[in-house]
Amino acid sequence: MKFCVPIKALSANKAWQGRRFSTPEKKQYERTLALLLPRTKVPGPYYRVVYNFYLSNFALTDWDNLIKPFQDSLVKQGIISDDRFILEATVRKSEAEEDRIEVEIYSREIAE
């Protein structure tokens, strides 16, 4: 499954207050993603994911901070069963005039 959401990715640095509490920014990010993400479930049991983050603030953002808040929303919306079942991921960040996130999610079996 491939899809694109026209939203600025939220950094993990802005997602949590202290150790366990979501920030108001993260709660708003999740509400917005709930409206933008497709209403489809990718069958498991395991997954391979490709993330393409297009960022207007390209130079100021660590690529690894973008993954967790977005991935949590994929689980919360039921697109994947649990992010612990992602066995393989590719992440790219690119400079862009407008923020967006392009995602590809594939079912994957465990390789013998």
**pLDDT at res. 43:** 94
Q: pLDDT per residue over 2-24, tens digit each? A: 989 998 988 887 887 766 788 99
* Separation of CA 70 from chain center: 3
Q: Where are the domains of the chain?
A: 2-108
**pLDDT at res. 100:** 97
C-alpha span between 60 and 47 (Å, rounded): 29
In this structure, whether the domain defined by 2-108 belongs to CATH 3.30.1330.70 is answered with yes
